Each structure stands twice: as structure tokens, then as C-alpha cells.
Structure 1
């Protein structure tokens, strides 16, 4: 099979190679990959800034995969050849609280991912594809959509009429806007681009803040919520901005820390945090059971993932470069028709 492999850190070292097509072992399935989508994590792995000591040489990157079962291993009865299937990022986290070693079982690093013509999945962690989505659309779900769902619903228990602050227009944020809107919540969105804010409004965001023209955006959030702040924040930036998120959150509200675009360290002003009694929780995607719940919701609501551009398999480098420049919606790579 053809596969993109990371021979060393740096995008110049991501190269297309020939590798043996793997054979599924007991409890495994072989998936013919249709499409994958890129996340900020995928760029960070290639750049060598995401747990570099855990990334093996010649890794096949990218978790978010959709495809068709091509072969089943011994003992597998829940999947059949031709079934449509998606990858689940934490291949051992099926439900409940995460184990300490869940990061050791992440697809796309340290375990080989889906930027190849075929990939191996554990049968009990693979997820059926929603019937209303194409494989290209489904490939956007495993990290970005599930992170948004886990933050808002599994952790935040979002209720109709509550208010959510969504930062930026990356994949997690756009799914958060769509999910929160479908659940009857009010959405406040921030971005540095008025053009992108207009697009977010079309997805359901009711209040828009350009944080470049309004640098004290947290105070503006308080104004929009009668001084109270929002029930939930989807925190994708972290860094210095985490203190503004605390200020923007209502008393005893929830901050879901899902990204680190502003840096991997965050100086926190402790006294405002104590006074707010807000809860900050790290959200590292979610478990398989929540994935199944989310897919049922997506089918019922007819939710359409936002895709910016679809690249050919041979143009994977261009896809990564597009991700680095920024996009509105997901960057997808079509592997096979």
C-alpha cells in the first residue's frame, strides 16, 4: 500500500512511501481508507512539538479516518466486509474515566494512523459512520466534533437557554457552534476576522466579537450577559488568554480547555479564579460511548460538518500547508473513492 510516513520531524520529512498492507490480528479489522481530516495536533506532531519522545520513526500520521472494512481478524463478529467505519482516537478508552495510559494508545501517534490506503483498527473501538454523512464528512468527526460534544454535553451538561462562548473558527469551535445551537443554547463567538464571524453567524452564533478590535473581549462578554458571564467556554487558545476566559465565565461556570494555540503554559491569576468558582477541565477528545451518542445526535439533527478544502492523497503536503495558514472548516484528504 501507499502511505505517508514521518521519517523525521519537519514537513519536509513527511514522505509518500510503499509499505506492506497490514493484516488484521485477533480482535482487529483492516480498513480501506476513504478520507482523513487534519487537526492542529497533526501539524504539532509533524513539527515535533507534541510529545516528540513518543513519536516513532516512520509513523503514519493522522487519526481522523473514515473508510470501509476490507478484512476482519479472528474473533471479530461485530463488523463485516463493506461496513462503513470511522477511527476512534483513544483506541482503548471505551467509556467511563480515562486510564492513565490512554495517550499510549492514540491513533496517529504513537500508533500508526490513517494517512495511508489501509489501516488497522481495534474492532471494539471502531465506530460506525453516520448514515447521513459521506466518508469525507465523517472523517471530520473523531477529534474535532467529539471534543466539542464531550465538552458541551458529556462534561458541561448543556441545557437549552444557556450561553456558550466559542473561541475562533477552528474545527472544534465550528462543531461547538453547531452542536450548541442545535441544543437550544445561545452562542457568543470570537475571531480576529469579521468575514469569519459572518460565516459563524450563519452556523448559529448570535453574538460576535472581533478580539482584535475589541481586545478586552471578556468584558464585552460580560456586557452581553448582563454582567453574569457565560455558562460554558470552549477554550482553544489558553496561554495568557485563560484569565480572560475566567472573567468571561459566570460564577461556578465551566471552562473546557481543549487547545493550546496560545502556548502550552498559562499564567493563571489565582484570586479571580477563586472568586469565580469556575471549573477548568482539560478535555482530551472523549470516549467511544460519547462518540456513539454524538453520532445519533448528528443523524437526528442532520448536522453537516464544515469542510474548507478537500485535497487529493498525493497532495497531503499542500493540505498540511493549508492547515498551517488557517482555514474555515476542516481540511480533508481524499485517499480513495
Structure 2
């Protein structure tokens, strides 16, 4: 395949609204040493993309005229000098944080977080460092694979971090967004018992079809933490995937067992609380763990788990949009009507 001369891409002309996204075009440069040129087939959206565009992202400096989004899947078109572990035609994802290869992160590594501190992937072609790439399961389409870098890896890092989820553990998943659905799937693949909360009975039906053993509509059961304790015979859950933030954290603390893990992932809840979180955390010996996606090494381990459990871990894609309808995709993300992931099909034609 001949290397492209130009690429169309989106840039955020001004922070404040995703409606400030504009389509631009620029030349495609060949990959430098240890770099790889990739044709982007699909990009998936996450909540972070929305708050970055709208000006509510709490971490780091955003580059001018940001190219948004962090999650992609594509095929390798060209290799830079010194790249020996990839070949043209390989189907890959780039890690959310390009330089987080293994171990703990640091400030320098964080500056390579795409779609936030660094330019992202909402483009037809892009070069990546060879060390940032991961081959995704062969039986996944590009659209499915594009959901893995942030949502799936965040859930995997939560459940397979310092203390791995074990068969028979109770896992509480808040909501039915991208991270939450992957949390449900990966927990089930590890043999856990999963409780899912949502304000929508329709969304909870989908969670049940995916295998959730217990579901709670928190509009109908406002004291959902007490229902979790009832389900677990008063003990509490081993792990909580906490995506709500301040508005849900106090109930998550009530619902987790002593010395259990609460994995702090997001802050989508619009509620607030003045409960003494510190005191309750100390009293129960809870581990509050902030999650910053994951490393390339963890990404590879996650792919192995997915390959071993193909039926339980198939990505749930709510809706797919074309590259020309990116604003509609962001509007749908903002509506929070989706279950699972929203995907933008970048390439005109996909190989799968």
C-alpha cells in the first residue's frame, strides 16, 4: 500500500465546546527512527474527550488546537529505522499513554497522554512510537478494538492491579458506560460475582444479558449501598469500580467490605456529599486507588485474558458514526443514552 501524502484530522479550535471541532488537512511525514505510521480505521469516544473539549479537564495543560481522542485501532503502513518487532499490515492499538510501557507512571510519562496532555488520534493517519503499540485479538474488528485502550484497560487495571480479582469475589460496577461494561465483562471472565447499578431498567436488562448476577436501579432503590450489603450478607463487596466520584463515593464506602478496594475512575455523578469520607475510609481500612488507565504491559496481559474468554469479553458498541459526523458522536456521548461504547469509523473501508 502506498503511503498517503495528506491526512484529514479534527482539531479543537477553542476550548469550551466540542462544537468548536474543525476538520483540517496536513502533510503526512514518514515515520522517524523507532516510529510507526498507522492508518487509523476506528476511534472510540470516552467521557474524558467530552470534558477536555468543554474545558473541564482537571489535569495538565492542553496543547493549542488539540487533536482530540485517545483510543484507536488501525493498521501499520510504514516502519521507521530500527523497528524490528512490527511489520506492515499488523493490526494494532496505541496505548492511551504512549510512554507508559510498564510499572508506575510519573509526570513525564503523563505528558504523553493522548487527547489531553498530548495530541490525539482523531485523524486518518498518525505516527506512533513503536513501543506504544499492542496487537489486538485477531477476531476483533477495528471498531471493536478501538474500545480497548482506555475503557477496557482502565477496568482491567482496576481488577488486576495490586490485588487481583478472584473467582467468587463480589464486584460492584456503577453504571453502564464504557468502563463499567468492560468491568462487568472482565470481572465475569475472572469468575467474579457482579452487581451493576443504573437509573435505567433498559440498561440493566442489557447488563443482565451480559451476565450480571445482580442489578439495582438506584432511582427505585436510593439506598443502593444497603441493597449491596443485603446481597453480600452484610459483608460488602471486594471491589468497587467507582465512576461517579464525590456524589457516589460515600455509598461505595458503605458497600465495600473491610480492607476492600474502591477504584476511583471518574466523576460523572452530578450529586455532592459532605459526609466524612476520610473517617469512614480509616474505620473500614479501605484502599482508595486512583486509576490512570494502564501500561503497555498490562494492555498485552488484558489481550491474553480477552483471547481466553472471547464470548464474555466482546466489546459492546452502542452506536457507530462516520468520520464526517464526529459532532453527532460527541452529542450522543453527552446525552449519556449509550450502553458501552461509541465508535467513529475513520477509514472509508475496513478490512473487517
* TM-score normalised over the length of structure 2: 0.93
Q: Which residue of 2 aligns with 1:250?
A: 257
CA distance in 1, matches of 2:116, 2:33: 22
SS in 2 for 1:26: coil
SS in 2 for 1:154: coil
Q: How many residues align?
A: 337
Q: Which residue of 2 aligns with 1:275?
A: 283
SS in 1 for 2:99: coil
Q: For residue 161 of structure 1, report the CA deviation from its aligned partner.
A: 0.5
CA distance in 1, matches of 2:103, 2:63: 29
Pairing partner for 2:12 from 6, 25, 29: 6
Name the CA shift for 1:150/1:226 in 2 (closer, same or farther; >3 Å).
Answer: same
Conserved in 1, the CA contact under 8 Å of 2:63 and 2:119? no
Pairing partner for 1:197 from 189, 199, 204: 204
Name the CA shift for 1:134/1:184 in 2 (closer, same or farther; >3 Å).
Answer: same
Conserved in 2, the CA contact under 8 Å of 1:35 and 1:65? yes
Do residues 293 (structure 1) and 301 (structure 2) align? yes
Q: Any unmatched runs of 5+ in structure 1? A: none
Q: Which residue of 1 aligns with 2:241?
A: 234
Q: For residue 77 of structure 1, report the CA deviation from its aligned partner.
A: 1.1
Name the CA shift for 1:132/1:13 in 2 (closer, same or farther; >3 Å).
Answer: same
CA distance in 2, matches of 1:122, 1:235: 32
Name the CA shift for 1:274/1:178 in 2 (closer, same or farther; >3 Å).
Answer: same
Q: Which residue of 2 aligns with 1:112?
A: 119
Q: Which residue of 2 aligns with 1:147?
A: 154
Q: For residue 266 of structure 1, report the CA deviation from its aligned partner.
A: 6.9
Q: Which residue of 1 aligns with 2:4?
A: none
Q: Which residue of 2 aligns with 1:331?
A: 342
Q: For residue 70 of structure 1, report the CA deviation from its aligned partner.
A: 1.1
SS in 2 for 1:166: strand
Do residues 26 (structure 1) and 23 (structure 2) align? no
Q: For residue 51 of structure 1, report the CA deviation from its aligned partner.
A: 4.2
Do residues 318 (structure 1) and 325 (structure 2) align? no
Residue correspondence of structure 1 range 90-169 to structure 2 within 5 A:
90-169=97-176
Q: Which residue of 1 aligns with 2:3?
A: none
Q: For residue 240 of structure 1, report the CA deviation from its aligned partner.
A: 3.0
RMSD: 1.5
Pairing partner for 1:49 from 48, 51, 56: 56
Q: For residue 52 of structure 1, report the CA deviation from its aligned partner.
A: 7.4
Deviations 1:236-290 (A, max 9, x none): 0011321111100001000000111136987543322222111000001111111
Pairing partner for 1:208 from 207, 212, 215: 215
Q: For residue 213 of structure 1, report the CA deviation from its aligned partner.
A: 1.1
SS in 1 for 2:132: coil
CA distance in 2, matches of 1:133, 1:155: 28
Deviations 1:138-177 (A, max 9, x none): 0000000000001001233100001000000000000011
Name the CA shift for 1:289/1:265 in 2 (closer, same or farther; >3 Å).
Answer: farther
SS in 2 for 1:124: helix
Q: For residue 135 of structure 1, report the CA deviation from its aligned partner.
A: 0.6
Q: Which residue of 1 aligns with 2:95?
A: 88
SS in 1 for 2:127: strand
Conserved in 2, the CA contact under 8 Å of 1:113 and 1:119? no
Q: For residue 53 of structure 1, report the CA deviation from its aligned partner.
A: 5.9
* TM-score normalised over the length of structure 1: 0.97
Pairing partner for 2:183 from 171, 176, 184: 176
Q: For residue 216 of structure 1, report the CA deviation from its aligned partner.
A: 0.9
